[in-house]
Amino acid sequence: MRYAAGLGVFALCVSRLCVSQEAGAPAAASAVHVFVVRAGTLIDGRSDRPQQNQDILIRGERIVAVYPAGTRPLPAGTELLDLGAATVLPGLIDCHTHIFLQGEVPAAGGYDVQLLKYPLSYRTARAVVAARRALEQGFTTIRDVETEGAGYGDVGIKQAINEGYIPGPRMFVATRAISTTGGYNLEGYAPEIVVPKGAQLIDGPVEARKAAREQLEHGADWIKVYMTHRSWVDEKGELVSQPTLTVEELRAIVDETHGWHRKVACHAYNGPGLQRALDGGCDSIEHGLELTDAQIQQMVRQGTWYVPTLSVYYYDHDPPDTPSGKRDRKRVALHGVSFGKALRAGVRIAFGTDVGGFVWSDPIAQEFARMVEFGMTPMQAIQAATSRAAELLGASGDLGVVAPGAHADLIAVSGKPLDDVKALESVAFVMKGGSVFRSTPVAATR
Ligand SMILES: [Zn+2]
């Protein structure tokens, strides 16, 4: 069964996925598969140091033991997957994706064309491909933070993945997202024309709570809120962003969502909108381009997560002498500085990219190099995309770690990511829940 034709990749899918494809419907799991993945180097997602020559014993979908290679007899019938030339890591987690967005390339019509001219069936078909792209690149879990006008499409994609109809990562979905009137695209059309919006727009705490209830009822694992919208550079050369929801509106959403034991992710660039996000009790600040020292301290105090998205702001800059071109450059200039300050202050940071804002054919893992550029060690960046991200998702011990009891989500690279984190842009082996999705020959580099 091949899912990755055209990329020079062969997808070796074993167990459940293949069975379900052949039968046309998910089949019950057959006899529990027991096997050992032998890691030349193991970065387990939690420890600060890698370990050499480790065996990872997997039963079905879970890891049952990790121990020095060859120190225990293999149980009868155990299959050995020898990745002795490779570095093995937990499956990666991207906490900020948009599978229903296909880049915002101006020449291809940017954002608007996707809502105005693409049939929903076409958007869904491409979302299926995007989900597969995430998995191919070693991202076995994503938090997909809204569908940009494609309604509850993410809920269906997640279901199809979980039931084995299509390949893709584990998904935490946010469905429609919430902003205010004047607080989200599409805009700039004649007021007489009703255009679709990329988020559910509310005004007032009552509507805010109702929108959260609707989204939670229909399957949102997270609620995504836009706390800032337009941004520009003012006469003093400062980045300004327009705040959207009031603290009261956000509090209604947070209160409702926490009642469901779910969390709220807030898009916020800087300024009053970001402050309202913190005062309103947001669980994660998305982007956070410009954080003041006081805001950083508030994040530490409240335990607020920071999901920076450094790479995406390097794309598609307008000419430098235009207002939008100045804004594009200012965003880049501020973001790395805020990241470094937050890191040094001990803010909890999880890996996010905003992929979908850039095309899915580009490496999602390019973000690692940016995180290192702005102050993280490669190990810190890896942990941000594994055990730390799992903590944000409320899945510690289940995801983002190679340890007994965790899902058997593993990747392998032939390079040495602790020497050059760009090695993570070339993932050679991907396993999700004990099923090998991708396996390309791993060159010996040791
Ligand atoms: Zn986003």
Residue 31's pLDDT is 77
Residue (of 386, 394, 388, 382) closest to 422 by Cα position = 382
118-139 tens-digit pLDDT = 999 999 999 999 999 999 999 9
How long, in residues, is the chain?
446
Q: What percent of the chain clears pLDDT 70, i.e. is strictly above it?
A: 92
Return the pLDDT at 347: 98
Average pLDDT in the 56-83 region?
A: 94
Ligand 1 center from residue 2 Cα (angstroms): 30
What spacing in Å lies between the alpha carbon of 288 and ligand 1's midpoint?
12
Beta-carbon count within 10 A of 163 CB? 12
| Average pLDDT of span 85-99 | 98
Cα–Cα distance measured from residue 125 to residue 386, given in angstroms and rounded to the nearest whole number: 28
- In which band, very low, low, confident or very high, does the pLDDT at 11 lie, cut at 50, 70 and 90? very low
pLDDT of residue 30: 58
**Distance from the CA of 78 to the center of ligand 1, in angstroms?**
43
The three-state secondary structure class of 259 is helix
pLDDT band for position 363 (cuts 50, 70, 90): very high
| Mean pLDDT, range 318-326, rounded to an integer | 96
CA of 320 to the centre of ligand 1 (A): 24
Instruction: Tell me the CA–centroid distance for residue 355 and ligand 1, in Å.
Output: 8
C-alpha separations of 146 from 66, 190, 270, 431 in Å: 37, 26, 21, 26
Arithmetic mean of pLDDT, 368-376: 98
**To the nearest whole number, what is the mean pLDDT of the chain?**
92
pLDDT number for residue 287: 98
Distance CA 428, CA 230 (A): 40
Query: What is residue 210's predicted lDDT score, i.e. its pLDDT?
Result: 99
Read off the pLDDT of each residue in 351-365 and give the average, rounded to a whole number.
Answer: 97
- Measured in angstroms, how far is the CA atom of residue 98 from the centroid of ligand 1? 7
Residue 95 alpha carbon to ligand 1 centre in Å: 10
CA of 147 to the centre of ligand 1 (A): 10
Residue 208 Cα to ligand 1 middle (Å) = 20
Cis geometry, peptide bond prior to residue 399 (ω within 30 degrees of 0)? no
Residue 354 CA, ligand 1 centroid: distance in Å = 5
pLDDT in the model for residue 76: 85
Q: What is the pTM of this model?
A: 0.93
* pLDDT over threshold 80, residue 94: yes
Q: Which token pair is 255?
A: 């209160």
| CA 54–ligand 1 middle distance (angstroms) | 37
Instruction: State the distance from the centre of ligand 1 to the C-alpha of 251, rounded, in angstroms.
Output: 21
Taking residues 324-350, what's their average pLDDT? 98
Cα(14) to centroid(ligand 1), Å = 33
> Bigger pLDDT: 15 or 294?
294
Q: How far is the CA of 129 from the centre of ligand 1 (A)?
A: 18
Token pair in block for residue 301:
């105090």
Mean pLDDT, to the nearest integer, of 8-31? 40
Interval between CA 23 and ligand 1 midpoint (Å) = 37
Report the sign of the C-alpha dihedral through residues 236, 307, 379, 316, in that order.
Answer: negative
Among candidates 155, 304, 147, which has minimal Cα distance to 216? 155
Q: How far is the CA of 83 from the centre of ligand 1 (A)?
A: 35
Using the structure block, give the residue that is written with the tokens 């299926």: 128
H-type alpha helices, 101-149: 112-116, 120-136
Q: In DSSP terms, which residues pair with 239 in a beta bridge?
A: 233
Beta-strand runs (E) in 129-253: 139-144, 170-173, 178-180, 200-202, 222-226, 228-233, 239-243
* pLDDT at res. 77: 87
Across the beta sheet with 170-173, the strand order is: 92-97, 139-144, 170-173
- Contact by Cβ (8 Å): 141, 442: no
Does the pLDDT of residue 268 top 90, yes or no? Answer: yes
Instruction: Quote the pLDDT of residue 441.
Output: 59
User: Which residue matches tokens 């990745």?
Assistant: 83
The token duo for 340 is: 């470094």
Residue 285 Cα, ligand 1 centroid: separation in angstroms? Answer: 11
What is the spatial distance between Cα 46 and Cα 386, in angstroms, rounded to a whole number?
Answer: 8
Instruction: Give the strand pairing for 263-268 and 222-226.
Output: parallel
Residues 6+ apart with CB under 8 A from 257: 212, 216, 223, 263, 264
The count of other CB atoms within 10 Å of the CB of residue 300 is: 14
Confidence of residue 80 (pLDDT cuts 50, 70, 90): very high
DSSP string, 228-252: EEEEEE-TTS-EEEEE-S-HHHHHH
Distance 145 CA to ligand 1 centre (A): 6
- Cα 103 to ligand 1 centroid, rounded to whole Å: 11
Instruction: Give the residue among 410, 358, 359 at the shortest CA–CA distance from 386.
Output: 410
Backbone angles phi, psi at 292, to 5 degrees: -75, 165
The Cβ-side half-sphere exposure at 182, using a 13 Å CA radius, reads 5
- Ligand 1 center–CA 358 separation, angstroms: 10
